[in-house]
Each structure stands twice: as structure tokens, then as C-alpha cells.
């Protein structure tokens, strides 16, 4: 495996479609997939009310894993360790929703379109404390898969 540079990590985050958000819910690890965008170098997502947002309100510590798969079994992975915060700035919230709609278009992942009578769907920002990235070996060489020796 090789380490990714900060620029390579940014490229993976810009191009990947799904992030896995890990938090602590009721004292247990809880991981869910999320659509997301990067604005101003910060990862943002929008979520419905439920276990995930309750967990983040109770304990803002998160780990986020983003993986981009390549050809021949190659992969690039970025891990963000940080703190989640619910956005209370209407302008930033609107910018995040617009960026989500732009990124995901008509995909089923684009549930962020405003509804006539919208339910509360908080926008969350993740302030990174640490961002690291790794990748399998050169795509022309043998691929190394996570968890394999």
C-alpha cells in the first residue's frame, strides 16, 4: 500500500460518491453510508432525524471512510477523524443543499431537494482533526485488497 498526499486525498473526496459515517450511538459503534459534499475543504452531509443525528448531538466524535474503486481491484481510501457540528447558518445550509443536488443530480442519493413541507433534515459539517489516505499499489502491479496480506 502507499500513502496518499493531501492533494490526492482531496481528489478522492471530490470524486467519491459515498462516505461511511461512524459515530457512537447508545454506547455502540454505528456506521451508515451517506451522500456528501466538500465545501471549503470541509465534509458536509444532510441527514434525516433518527439514530445518527441523535448520536451526533450526544457525542460529536466521528470517523468517516471514503473509498474510490479503480480498475483491476485497485482502490484509494481516505479516513477522516473529526467532530461533527450541526449547521445553523441558513446561507451555508442552502449552499450545502445546492452542492448535494448538483453532485448527485437525479440519483436516488439526492434526497436533499427541498420539499413543500420539509421535515427537519439537519446539515452536518465535519471538522477534521486528522485526514489520512492510502491506496493499493500501482494499478499496473498486483492489487492489495484491504485486510489481505
Q: How do beta strands 37-39 and 75-86 pair?
A: unpaired
Q: So where are the chain's domains?
A: 2-135
Contact between 63 and 22 under an 8 Å Cβ cutoff? The reply is yes
Provide the 8-state DSSP code for 67.
Answer: E
Mind giving me the DSSP string for 44-75?
EEE--SSHHHHHHHH--EEEEEEEEE-GGG-E
The CATH number of the structural domain formed by 2-135 is 2.30.110.10
Whole-number percent of the chain with pLDDT over 70 = 81
The pLDDT tens digits for 82-113 are 999 999 999 999 999 899 989 998 665 555 55
Collapsing DSSP states into helix, strand and coil, what is residue 122?
Answer: coil
Q: What is the pTM of this model?
A: 0.82
Amino acid at each position: 500500500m502507499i500513502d496518499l498526499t493531501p492533494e490526492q486525498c482531496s481528489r478522492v473526496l471530490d470524486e467519491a460518491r459515498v462516505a461511511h459515517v461512524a459515530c457512537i450511538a447508545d454506547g455502540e459503534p454505528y456506521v451508515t453510508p451517506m451522500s456528501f459534499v466538500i465545501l471549503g475543504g470541509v465534509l458536509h452531509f444532510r441527514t434525516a432525524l433518527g439514530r445518527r443525528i441523535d448520536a451526533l448531538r450526544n457525542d460529536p466524535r466521528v470517523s468517516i471512510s471514503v473509498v474510490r474503486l479503480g480498475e483491476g481491484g485497485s482502490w484509494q481510501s481516505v479516513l477522516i477523524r473529526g467532530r461533527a457540528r450541526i449547521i445553523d447558518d441558513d446561507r451555508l445550509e442552502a449552499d450545502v443543499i445546492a452542492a448535494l443536488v448538483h453532485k448527485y443530480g437525479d440519483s436516488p442519493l439526492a434526497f436533499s431537494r427541498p420539499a413543500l413541507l420539509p421535515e427537519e433534515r439537519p446539515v452536518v459539517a465535519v471538522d477534521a482533526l486528522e485526514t489520512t489516505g492510502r491506496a493499493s499499489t500501482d494499478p499496473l502491479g498486483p492489487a492489495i485488497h484491504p485486510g489481505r496480506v
